[in-house]
Structure 1
Amino acid sequence: MMENKSIGERITQLRQQAGLTQEELAIKCNVATRTIQRIEANQVSPRVYTLRILSEALGADLISTDQSATRNHSKGYVLLWYMRDLFNFKTNRMKKISILSTTALSLFLAIFLISGTSPEKEKSIRIEKPQSGIKVIYDENNKLELIEVVFSQLHSLDTLVQMQADLRKYDIELNYRMLNFTDEGLLKGIEYYASDGHSSGSAGIPKMKEQTFGFYFNYSGKKFNDNSFCIGNCWETNPKNSSN
């Protein structure tokens, strides 16, 4: 039976069944003809690498049944050989490219999923120059975290009145002590007072320029520009504010 044959006899039988000469098999496996001759004559015990390429060329598994070869190679060595062979495009080029492409895509997706489901990072309040108007930030539990109000030259009397109404929804009182407008009806200067019942203050600027004036209430418990409440030019390096 074929299982009782030596590895040399098995290779000879498989080669003949495939209709190959020793020279043709050697060319197909990219080895010397003398190597094929010595293996078939059982003069040498083929390495796992050689058995692998012979298996591919002859369409048979010569590795798992050749105990004389596999017992001399550790699992780590076999794994290393498979990895090296995977990048050898001289044989089964398209199959190996497909395997590598699938592996790379799987690794990319795994990294993406891991980064997206990593342990919860410490939340922080961004310290940056805000946009004009009202910004309200909630945490993941829908708890109010921050309210920012910023005045700019884009505001008209109507938008300022609307801001007062919107802030009442959050129990914030906003009073204007002085308002100046340009001929076009846009905000030129402002003095104002803000309070949430716990913190309050007033500030003003007679002529709006590039400064960012307004106020914020920080309810997150985290520091935001070193304050839980600020009114005035709050988004500068050293904000100036007036609070009561």
Structure 2
Amino acid sequence: MDRLDFGKKLIRIRKAKGLTQAEVAEKCNITIRTIQRIESGTVKPRSSTIKIISEFLEVDFFENSIQNSDFKNHTVLWYLKDIFNLKTNTMKKISILSASLFILTFIGINIFSTEAQSKSPNKQEEVILESQNKKINFSKEFDEFKVEGNFVFVTKNNKHGLMNLDGETIIPCEYDMFEVENNYVLTLKGNKRGLMNLDGKTIIPCEYDMFEVENNYVLTLKGNKRGLMNLDGKTIIPCEYDMFEVENNYVLTLKGNKRGLMNLDGKTIIPCEYDTMKFEEGVAIVTKNGKTKQIRI
């Protein structure tokens, strides 16, 4: 043990016993200056001083010094040979060897088991969910299951999908989010929205910024432009208009500051080129460049 280590250990033990430097100096018949220099690591105490301090503090500093010195002088090979020398500390060495053999055996078994599993074909485990008194088998490939009514909402790698209670896939795990509303599934992929039915058929692909189902029609938004589709996925009005309003069987359209009129089959009745438009008993009264005219519809 060098002088710094000895000094640190002396400080630790002295304080643990609640003693001051002066008390140790007095009891060991050593000057307080000597104690201070020993604790600061300035000097290395003589063997006789170590012995006196050891006896007073009831700690054998001298023995620790010898043990540490011996430890530094022996090599790793020496200790390996000593472990197998059963003539000294026989039971202790047998215990060490037994524990080491057990650990090596355990590691070997685990390595062998891991290699065997990696070489064997992957057998997909099954998870059994009980819903409505019916046992359902689902593949453990999914991270989460959530049963709601007749459907199972599944999650895999943060993507969402939908299955029925027979374990058949309705919607694959490809969507960031979706919501079942009435008989339709509103889907979200990236920042784009789409629409599917409960048979897994795509009605509207995920390419719109927003849409709203209203009666039998879907109002779509792409960029800042609006359009209209039916629930069969057919485009009635492409996303080319700034605004439109469905009224009776007609669609009032707005493009720029110009107004027009279409029917629900997507046919243009009045092109978007008029400044104002109002209706009176089957007649559209329109203005363009300050001129007014009537268009029968």
Which of the five TM-score ranges fits, normalised by the shorter chain? under 0.3
Instruction: Give the helix-richer structure, 1 or 2.
Output: 1
Normalised by the length of structure 1, the TM-score is: 0.26
Q: Which protein, 1 or 2, shows the higher relative CO under an 8 Å CA cutoff with sep ≥ 6?
A: 1
Normalised by the length of structure 2, the TM-score is: 0.21
Bigger radius of gyration among the two: 2
Instruction: Give the strand-richer structure, 1 or 2.
Output: 2
